[in-house]
């Protein structure tokens, strides 16, 4: 799901990329067809189901990829990593399987996807974007951390635990891809930049209700007061990660305006959550403030009452201050709105170096074992 923002009226658009275009007669019904050697697809499509049932062609992947995983970044971009160049998900004892893997030729490159850019320029892979160091196939998992880094773990395209590449089991099967216990951390291009350190962040967000103020110092605005005009308040739910996807992952931008002070500091006047629990269900999330494409360190918050069931929907007051490029005021006041509708427009920006990755140190490898063990049984 692409970011839900005031600019798109918090309307969900789903992006689908890669996979395989194998036809029914090329799959398991034809035992002579080598699925593991079949090139992965490189196309992307999107659909906005609340608006249209039509599919829209999007920018192609930079290479064919199956089991690639998207991670929402707090600045509104997506990071795409892991996966394979040939074959598909799954495992078995088919004659063409690689050991037991239905996929082969892992991809070690990653890329950024920026939905705010014009078509034809949404994918990017800077020359200094580091390659991954661990092959991630079936049963891999990744998730965003509060500091904006990405935790990347797992991989086991086999029916059981396989200790190493080249392992031969009692049936004489030689395994190319072992059960993976190593964890990588990826640090996106903003990670090493000075981070804004906003104050006044809440620990709960309601569906509608009174706005709140976030204070940004002159240094938080990188000593450029104009940066407040594109600052964004972002609510991230990282979702549950398994099988190269994050179920429930979504990024919601809050409606906001701003005011500047004479000393170069500023205030963001932010609405609560849109008055519609369908946009983000109640529960825990991370709250970020993004200034000039650089996110603050996320803080833990609770959306709604934190429980499933009916939620209180509050009126949405008019925001004070100047309308930001990254958001717009909601025109209606004092009414109870359940559809979160408004007429808005806006855009943002991103800056920074390409990003780096590293293996987690030995002190955290116990977590890697837990992640790989969990992936083994999913």
Residue 266 has pLDDT above 70, yes or no: yes
Q: State the DSSP string of 282-330.
A: SEEEEEEEEETTEEPPPEEEEETTSSSS---B---PPP-SEEPTT----
Work out the pLDDT band at 377, boundaries 50, 70, 90: very low
297 CB-side CA count, 13 A: 5
Residue 375 has pLDDT above 50, yes or no: no
Mean pLDDT value across residues 31-39: 87
What local confidence, expressed as pLDDT, does residue 358 receive?
61
Work out the pLDDT band at 39, boundaries 50, 70, 90: very high
What local confidence, expressed as pLDDT, does residue 168 receive?
97
**pTM summary value:** 0.86
Q: Structural domain boundaries of the chain?
A: 6-190+354-376, 204-323
Work out the pLDDT band at 189, boundaries 50, 70, 90: very high
Burial profile 326-337: b = 16 or more Cβ within 10 angstroms, e = fewer: bbbbbeeeeeeb
Number of H helices and E strands in the chain, helices first, is 1, 25
**Mean pLDDT for the chain?**
87
Residue 343 has pLDDT above 90, yes or no: no
What local confidence, expressed as pLDDT, does residue 336 receive?
35
Residue 180 has pLDDT above 60, yes or no: yes
CA 48 to chain centre: 18
What local confidence, expressed as pLDDT, does residue 366 receive?
33
Give Cα separations from 32 to 26, 37, 41, 76, 95 (angstroms).
Answer: 9, 12, 21, 44, 8
What local confidence, expressed as pLDDT, does residue 338 receive?
36
What local confidence, expressed as pLDDT, does residue 245 receive?
83
Work out the pLDDT band at 340, boundaries 50, 70, 90: very low
The per-residue pLDDT for range 304-336, each reduced to its tens digit, is 999 989 999 999 999 998 887 665 544 333 333
The per-residue pLDDT for range 163-178, each reduced to its tens digit, is 999 999 999 999 999 9
What local confidence, expressed as pLDDT, does residue 15 receive?
97
Of 78-87, 90-99, 152-161, 338-347, the poorest mean pLDDT is in: 338-347
What local confidence, expressed as pLDDT, does residue 322 receive?
84
What local confidence, expressed as pLDDT, does residue 328 receive?
52
If DSSP codes are grouped into helix, strand and coil, which group holds residue 100? coil
What local confidence, expressed as pLDDT, does residue 23 receive?
81
What local confidence, expressed as pLDDT, does residue 79 receive?
98
Q: For the chain, what percent of residues have pLDDT higher than 70?
A: 85
Beta bridge partners of residue 79, listed in sequence order:
71, 112
What local confidence, expressed as pLDDT, does residue 348 receive?
33
Of 50-64, 232-246, 323-337, 342-356, where does the model show the most confidence? 50-64
- 204-323 homologous superfamily: Immunoglobulins (2.60.40.10)
Q: Are strands 84-91 and 240-242 parallel, antiparallel or unpaired?
A: unpaired
Work out the pLDDT band at 367, boundaries 50, 70, 90: very low
Of residues 292, 257, 289, 285, the one with CA closest to residue 271? 257
Residue 285 has pLDDT above 70, yes or no: yes
CA–CA separation, 99 and 40 (whole Å)? 19
Of residues 248, 193, 196, 191, the one with CA closest to residue 218? 196
- Please give the residue that has the higher pLDDT: either 143 or 369: 143
The per-residue pLDDT for range 197-238, each reduced to its tens digit, is 999 999 999 999 999 999 999 999 999 999 999 999 999 999
């Amino acid at each position: 799901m692409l970011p839900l923002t005031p600019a798109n009226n918090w309307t969900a658009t789903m992006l689908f990329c890669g996979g395989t275009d194998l036809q029914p007669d090329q799959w398991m019904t034809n035992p002579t067809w080598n699925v593991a050697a079949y090139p992965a697809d490189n196309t992307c499509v999107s659909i906005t189901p609340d608006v249209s049932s039509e599919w829209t062609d999007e920018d192609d992947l930079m290479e064919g990829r199956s089991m690639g995983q998207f991670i929402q970044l707090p600045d509104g971009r997506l990071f795409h990593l892991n996966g394979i160049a040939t074959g598909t998900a799954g495992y078995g004892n088919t004659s063409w399987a690689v050991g037991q893997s239905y996929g082969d030729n892992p991809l070690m490159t990653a890329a950024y996807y920026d939905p705010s850019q014009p078509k034809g320029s949404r994918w990017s892979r800077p020359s200094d974007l580091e390659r991954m160091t661990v092959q991630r196939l079936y049963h891999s998992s990744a998730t965003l951390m509060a500091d904006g880094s990405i935790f990347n773990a797992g991989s086991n395209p086999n029916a059981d635990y396989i200790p190493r590449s080249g392992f031969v089991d009692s049936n004489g099967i030689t395994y190319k891809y072992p059960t993976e216990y190593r964890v990588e951390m990826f640090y996106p291009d903003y990670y090493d930049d000075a981070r804004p350190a906003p104050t006044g962040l809440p620990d709960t967000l309601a569906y509608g209700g009174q706005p709140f103020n976030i204070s940004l110092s002159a240094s938080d605005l990188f000593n450029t007061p104009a940066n407040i005009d594109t600052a964004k308040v972002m609510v991230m739910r990282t979702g549950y990660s398994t099988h190269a996807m994050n179920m429930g992952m979504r990024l919601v931008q809050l409606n906001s305006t701003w005011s500047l002070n004479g000393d170069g500091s500023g205030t963001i006047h932010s609405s609560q959550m849109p008055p519609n629990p369908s946009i983000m269900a109640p529960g825990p999330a991370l709250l970020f403030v993004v200034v000039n494409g650089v996110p603050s360190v996320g803080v833990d918050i609770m959306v709604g009452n934190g429980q499933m069931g009916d939620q209180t929907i509050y009126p949405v007051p008019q925001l004070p201050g100047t309308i930001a490029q990254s958001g717009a005021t909601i025109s209606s006041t004092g009414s109870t709105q359940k559809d979160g509708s408004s007429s808005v427009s806006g855009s943002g920006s991103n800056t920074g170096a390409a990003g780096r990755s590293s293996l987690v140190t030995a002190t955290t490898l116990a977590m890697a074992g837990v992640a790989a063990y969990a992936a083994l049984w999913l």
